[in-house]
Amino acid sequence: MSESLAARAAALDAADELGKLREQFVLDEGVVYLDGNSLGALPRAVPGRVAEVVAHEWGELLIRSWTESGWWEAPERIGDRIAPLVGAAPGQIVVGDSTSVNVFKAVVGAVRLAGAGPGGAVRDEILVDASTFPTDGYIAESAARMTGCRLRPVDPASVPDEVGPRTAAVLVNHVDYRSGRLQDLPGITAAVRGAGALAVWDLCHSAGALSVGLDAHEVDLAVGCTYKYLNGGPGSPAYLYVAARHQAAFDSPLPGWNSHAEPFGMRPGFEPAQGALRGRVGTPDILSMLALEASLGVWSDVSVDAVRAKSLALTDFFLECVRAHVPAGQVELLTPSDHAARGSQIALRCAGASSVMASLISRGVIGDYRAPDVLRFGFTPLYVGFAEVERAARVLGDVLG
């Protein structure tokens, strides 16, 4: 069985149209890296670009680089490079700040955009994904206090039944960070908008791994990080999507000089800029931002549909290899088997998961652990191959056997 799986893996790698992209990343050939859903690998173009920014644009041009090197326009320029990866037209994404800060902008902004319900009813409720990444929950709770709303956690699948005339905004994670479950973005968004509320999506575990379709599905606002499947580097700046139809009325709770209509006018009163620029706050983090821009170069001529197809093939093959290599009853699959409900990761429940993951890492298979008992493996199609997937399952079987 091991020989046949290894042979199939070799054949799949030989036919992989994305396989050549691996050479664009810095990766140790002796390591199977399945933690790109926490921190993406380093694209080879980044170190040289960062060195150029530091030595020339900062070191020599100094403050002139804000205009001569295009620093000032970077948040929108890089946003337009991310846009096609999440199905957005240009001019709707601005890059900057952390995911947490952008979640706060988006949720409060959504409540302010919502207006009154039927018959003038007050929209004083925010629904939040009950299984959300903790920070999103913390931010939503703070946004609810700030806007005088009640926060109500609900199962994402129940949103169409729970959203109502008093709901102002709904915050949902596109992919559950623990289980890898892919939520129904088109259906949930349609239900939220049908109730007159606004849909806010967290794309941290989906952008760069699968098709999102923000414009096609009429999402209102979205946020995402760039250091996972987009490989922007540790702590690279996040992004905020504001649909074009909302931009003229979007009222950010964090107005800053960078989002002012005349940022260098230094006037005491705030007048918001037009378009996605309203999502800016303070001075952009140029070093991290330009490292991100360099990392996005690997996406040139890459189809998101091809990435999604490989993601599903990788995760299917991994599950097949786990069934073949891991003793029966040692792990429990938490990720949906259904392609329509699966992100680009596989989560396995396992006794002693923390020590099991430590053993895997010591043997060159890097995934991660989520308390109390989850082994989590992320599959980044741009650089993960099928032979690596087979090896990871085989090593997992050795550890558990």
- Token code pair at residue 139: 């931010």
- Dist. CA 140–CA 67, nearest whole Å: 37
Active-site residue flag, 228:
yes
CB of 139 closer than 8 Å to CB of 103: yes
- Dist. CA 229–CA 232, nearest whole Å: 8
- 150-154 β-sheet, strand order: 93-95, 239-242, 221-224, 198-202, 167-173, 125-129, 150-154
Active-site position among 81, 166, 228, 278: 228
Instruction: Classify burial at 90, counting beta carbons within 10 Å of its beta carbon; exposed 0-12, middle 13-18, buried 19 or more.
Output: middle
Active-site position among 16, 80, 136, 202: 202
Cα end-to-end span (Å), the chain: 16
Active-site position among 25, 33, 133, 241: 133
Active-site position among 33, 177, 227, 241: 227
Q: Where are the alpha helices (DSSP H) in 53-184?
A: 65-68, 74-82, 99-114, 134-147, 159-162
- Token code pair at residue 239: 């992004």
Token pair 């993601």 is found at 311
CB of 214 closer than 8 Å to CB of 369: no
Nearest to 327 by CA among 378, 399, 392, 389: 399
Active-site residue flag, 383:
no
Bridge partners of 242, per DSSP, are: 221
3-state secondary structure of 169: strand
Nearest to 390 by CA among 336, 316, 303, 331: 316
- Dist. CA 149–CA 114, nearest whole Å: 12
Kind and range of the H or E run holding 47: helix 45-52
- Dist. CA 128–CA 201, nearest whole Å: 10
- Dist. CA 259–CA 277, nearest whole Å: 6
What secondary structure does DSSP assign to 159-207, as a single string?
A: HHHH--TTEEEEEEESB-TTT-BBP-HHHHHHHHHHTT-EEEEE-TTTT
Half-sphere exposure (Cβ direction) of 173: Cα atoms closer than 13 Å: 28
Active-site residue flag, 241:
no
Active-site position among 376, 379, 383, 391: 376
Provide the 10 A C-beta neighbour count for residue 150: 12
**Which residues belong to the active site?**
133, 202, 227-228, 376
